[in-house]
Amino acid sequence: MNTILVGAQWGDEGKGKIIDVLTEEADIVVRSQGGNNAGHTVEIGKEKFILHLIPSGILRPGKKCVIANGVVVDPIALVKEIEGLEKRGIKLAGRLLISETAHLVLPYHRALDEARELRKGRDKIGTTKRGIGPAYGDKAARTGLRLIDLLQPKVFSAKLQARIAENNAILESLGGEQLSFPEVEKAYLEAARKLRPFIVNTVVWLHRQLETQKTLLFEGAQGTFLDIDFGTYPYVTSSNTTAGGSCTGSGIPPHRMDRVVGVMKAYTTRVGEGPLPTECPEVSDLLHGMGREFGATTGRARRCGWFDAVATRYARMVNGIDELAITNLDGLDSLKQILVCVAYDLRGKRLLYPPNDAEELLHCRPIYRKFQGWQMPTTDVRHFKKLPLAAQRYLTALAKLTGARLRIVSVGAQREQTFRT
């Protein structure tokens, strides 16, 4: 069974945690889009890991992990992540494979990301400033450099020199920092020496694994509403975060995919700018007060709100979500009453799906259904039927409103705080 796992909201749904759970049944975990803008948290006992580029499956001994062609790789950040994991006793040799056709994030991408955000002022996207947008921009413009280039120092240096000259001119016009070719060249070639043993043709390697009946688990990064096509454009990331991105980002054809799991929180969060119809200060205060909902990559406070079934209904549709994993149920444990957005009101019109224009979305007023809270801790519960009745009703309603089967419930950050329904 090959599984695609996607975020059904605005990212940070708890994908890392659910991937860690599902990796038990998979042989290989694949990242196929995004870059180190992602921050996937896995807590195992007293240990907490935050993965940015390396699939979360790496924490399960013996499982193999692939950074496939659709990912944009910052080699310096990747070396740091590899070394950080090795220091903590995670063995990577022979377990991590990196695509030779993945595009590189270069220092001018980060500088451009930063300079453009600064110039936008109040209209900024609120990016992670990891250079993701400019790196995908170069890929589409056919001016990107790939890992395959990095493995050929002469080819790499020549291309890099030309790219730095052009980007320094752009950066100058934007008031950004100038980059030194020899410094970048040295740092990147050094990273290349460390990454070389991991770099392969992942398309051919993955297909060989399929021939021997190995099962794949695709670890989506970001979430449906950050997708470049289906998200709240322009307040999105620069890749296809939805299920289709797993195919184009890995070379595994659609008919080899068996199921799509959508991960969603029992409420909604978003980090960065852009519309968030159910945003609610009361929910933000509650969760931040519990020390929760601070970004795993940038540390920024996440904006919080009620569960938005208009959003997850759309996510189910565009991803083809079969099964749902609902996380962070415990975040709502103390509430007397919980609201769920079941439709939007746009100037008197009732909408079941979000409008495509981010401006229109700003004008949408959530139509809420009220649910009774359960006001008791759920963190020690391990069976659906042992949940307070109000919590059972709440979860059943979220799945029904979204239109997919509830399969996994998460009631805490720990690996064990998870159960299947």
Q: Is 271 in the site for ligand GDP (CB under 6 A)?
A: no
Span interacting with ligand IMO, options 93-101, 114-122, 221-229, 371-379, rule CB under 6 A? 221-229
Q: Which is nearer to ligand IMO, 36 or 421 (CB)?
A: 36
331 scored as a contact of ligand IMO (CB under 6 A): no
Is 40 designated active site? yes
Mind giving me the DSSP string for 254-289?
A: GGG--EEEEEEESSEEE-SSS--TTB-HHHHHHHHH
Residues belonging to the chain = 421
- Out of 104, 112, 132, 361, which residue is the one contacting ligand IMO (CB under 6 A)? 132
One of 40, 109, 139, 316 touching ligand GDP (CB under 6 A): 40
Q: From the list Mg ion, ligand GDP, ligand IMO, none, which binds 209 (C-beta under 5 to 8 Å, kind-based)?
A: none
Binding flag, residue 275, Mg ion (CB under 5 A): no
| Catalytic annotation present for 255 | no
Tell me: does residue 4 bind ligand IMO (CB under 6 A).
no
**Residue 421, CA distances (Å) to 123, 138, 149, 323, 324 in order:** 43, 44, 47, 11, 10
Binding to ligand IMO by residue 11, rule CB under 6 A? yes
17 or 146: whose CB is closer to ligand GDP? 17
Alpha-carbon Rg for the chain in angstroms? 21
Site size for ligand GDP, by CB under 6 A?
Answer: 20
To ligand IMO, the closest distance from the beta carbon of 383 in angstroms equals: 28
- Tell me which of Mg ion, ligand GDP, ligand IMO, none is bound by residue 133, counting a contact when its beta carbon lies within the kind-specific cut-off of 5 to 8 angstroms: ligand IMO
Residues 259-288: x/- map of binding to ligand IMO (CB under 6 A)?
Answer: ------------xx----------------
338 near 378, Cβ under 8 Å? no
Q: Give the strand pairing for 64-67 and 96-99.
A: parallel
Considering the rule CB under 6 A, would residue 221 count as an interface residue with ligand IMO?
yes
Can you tell me the distance from the alpha carbon of 4 to that of 8, in angstroms, rounded to the nearest whole number? 12
In the complex, minimum distance from the CB of residue 52 to ligand IMO, in angstroms, rounded to a whole number? 8
CB-count burial class (<10 Å; 0-12, 13-18, 19+) for 123:
exposed
**Residues 326, 331, 333, 339, Cα dihedral to 10°:** -70
Q: Is beta strand 303-305 parallel, antiparallel or unpaired with respect to 268-270?
A: antiparallel
Question: Near ligand GDP by CB under 6 A, which window of 70-78, 152-160, 180-188, 411-419?
Answer: 411-419
Cα–Cα distance, 314 to 319 (Å, whole number): 8
Q: How far apart are CA 24 and CA 240, in angstroms?
A: 26
Q: Is residue 125 close enough to count as binding ligand IMO by CB under 6 A?
A: yes
Residues assigned a catalytic role: 12, 40
